Amino acid sequence: MKEILKSISKRTLFNILIFLQVLFSILYFFSTTISMQAVVNSNISANSELDSNPKRTLHMLIQNEDSKYFSKFKEELLNANLVNGLTGWRNSDLTPDTRVIGDTEDDFDSVELAKGCENLKKINVATGRYFTDADFRKENATGSKSKPFLMILGSEFANNQNLKVGDSYHDVNDKYYKVVGILEPNSKWFYQTVSEGMIMVIDNAVMVAYVNDSENPIMHYYSILNDNVNSDDAIYKINKIAKKYNIVVEAKTISTELNETYSESVSQDISWVIFSLIILVFVTIGTSILIVSHMYMRKNEIGIRMACGYSFKKVLLLLWGEFLVVSILAFLSALLIAYISCSGGKEIIYSAYYFSSFHLSYGIVLIGIGIFLLMCIPSLLVLVFKLRKVQPKDLIGGK
């Protein structure tokens, strides 16, 4: 090994070229396959975490929820007997009153849940209770000391802050909160929208009962269709009601949304994966040519080694060793960069984290190892073939 490393150090420029070729081609392959994997995983995560039927659950993107006619739109929609309520949530943050101005390290993640969110995904409360209808009414919860907002704590948050059911919490904005429950460990909720498939772990975060706030509106609403309602008919009637009140709404079932996103993303990502494989083929060919041309440039050195007692096998192992050491270092570097860039599959928000579909899985690593070995084989074989064809007199007289 010492001899191999010494030989590598003498040919820095050549080995750097080999290293960069393998590094960037493998890294690009990892990035395209991770992107492809993310599409599949997001689809699976959204379906597995959603307790309601995705074919019967509507997602409505409302872009002007702050419109003065939104309340009328909502009222008519609920009276039309199409859906069982209108719900949603906001991902926000909670800042303790002890925080130093400008320091965000003490901020905590919060999920502001509107009435009916528990119909989308079951929320398991270990101690205390879940929110009641009264908790969502503005006349009951203003954030004042006498009428605090109601919140449910993640198990880790409750333990770290030494809070229990019935305690009060005061934030930096002079808002008061009352603890009504503590979640079971490893409780989860959706980060952003259902269809994005990013699942947030609530252990070190809180859930707050959302009270209608024109300054912080909910843009993504969800509704479960009534049993006797067809999804296409419901979407048509919702668009008709929205047009009546000049509300901009885009309504789709979650299953339709997931299928559209999946089809569109997969078709794009497959193209990039194929392109990355083409690059790997060209890099493999280019590396083989570089290896052979470099071997011919070293004919004099190889001839001297053979004259000093080196066998054909020992010379071959030296050349193989140099190539494999540089290539393996490049592969491991690509593996490390891909892992770090994906944060190991976890994305930190403030105090909590969510599982990102963009992560380096064992499957991708194994496929990467297989492709890396296939890339190395041609260069190793071409060395055997070319070295056997070189005559001793050519070696000694080489340049």
Q: What is the pLDDT of residue 347?
A: 73
Do 7 and 310 meet the contact criterion of CB atoms below 8 Å apart? no
Do 250 and 344 meet the contact criterion of CB atoms below 8 Å apart? no
Instruction: List, in sequence order, every residue forming a beta bridge with 224; answer none if it has no partner.
Output: 57
Examine the pLDDT at 185 and tell me if it is beyond 90: yes
Examine the pLDDT at 56 and tell me if it is beyond 70: yes
Q: What does the pLDDT look like over 69-115, one tens digit per residue?
A: 888 888 899 898 899 889 999 888 888 776 444 444 568 889 999 99
Dist. CA 43–CA 194, nearest whole Å: 10
Q: What is the pLDDT of residue 391?
A: 57
Distance of CA 372 to the CA centre of its chain: 25
Average pLDDT, integer, range 161-185? 91
Q: What does the pLDDT look like over 113-171, one tens digit per residue?
A: 999 999 999 999 999 999 999 999 988 898 899 999 999 999 999 998 889 999 998 88
Examine the pLDDT at 58 and tell me if it is beyond 90: yes
Q: What does the pLDDT look like over 257-316, one tens digit per residue?
A: 888 888 888 888 888 999 999 999 999 999 998 888 877 777 777 777 777 777 778 878
Do 350 and 93 meet the contact criterion of CB atoms below 8 Å apart? yes
Q: What is the pLDDT of residue 304?
A: 72
Q: What is the mean pLDDT of the chain?
A: 85
Q: What is the pLDDT of residue 387?
A: 76
Do 121 and 109 meet the contact criterion of CB atoms below 8 Å apart? no
Q: What is the pLDDT of residue 113?
A: 93
Q: What is the pLDDT of residue 104?
A: 47
Q: What is the pLDDT of residue 384?
A: 84
Q: What is the pLDDT of residue 398?
A: 45
Do 269 and 36 meet the contact criterion of CB atoms below 8 Å apart? yes
Do 313 and 59 meet the contact criterion of CB atoms below 8 Å apart? no
Dist. CA 177–CA 163, nearest whole Å: 12
Specify the DSSP element, H or E, that contains 288: helix 254-297
Average pLDDT, integer, range 254-258? 91
Between 320 and 6, the more confident residue is 320
Q: What does the pLDDT look like over 319-375, one tens digit per residue?
A: 888 889 999 999 999 999 988 887 666 677 777 777 777 778 888 999 999 999 999
How crowded is the C-beta side of 283, counted as CA atoms within 13 Å?
25
Specify the DSSP element, H or E, that contains 354: strand 353-355
Specify the DSSP element, H or E, that contains 284: helix 254-297
Do 254 and 195 meet the contact criterion of CB atoms below 8 Å apart? yes
Return the closest-CA partner of residue 50 out of 238, 261, 260, 196.
Answer: 196
**The residue count for the chain:** 399
Do 341 and 38 meet the contact criterion of CB atoms below 8 Å apart? no
Residue type, 239: N
Dist. CA 73–CA 242, nearest whole Å: 6
Instruction: List, in sequence order, every residue forming a beta bridge with 94; answer none if it has no partner.
Output: 108
Q: CA-based angle 272:274:276, to the nearest 5?
A: 70
Domain ranges across the chain: 2-47+264-396, 50-257
- DSSP code of 11? T
Examine the pLDDT at 37 and tell me if it is beyond 90: no
Q: What is the pLDDT of residue 397?
A: 53
Dist. CA 75–CA 226, nearest whole Å: 16
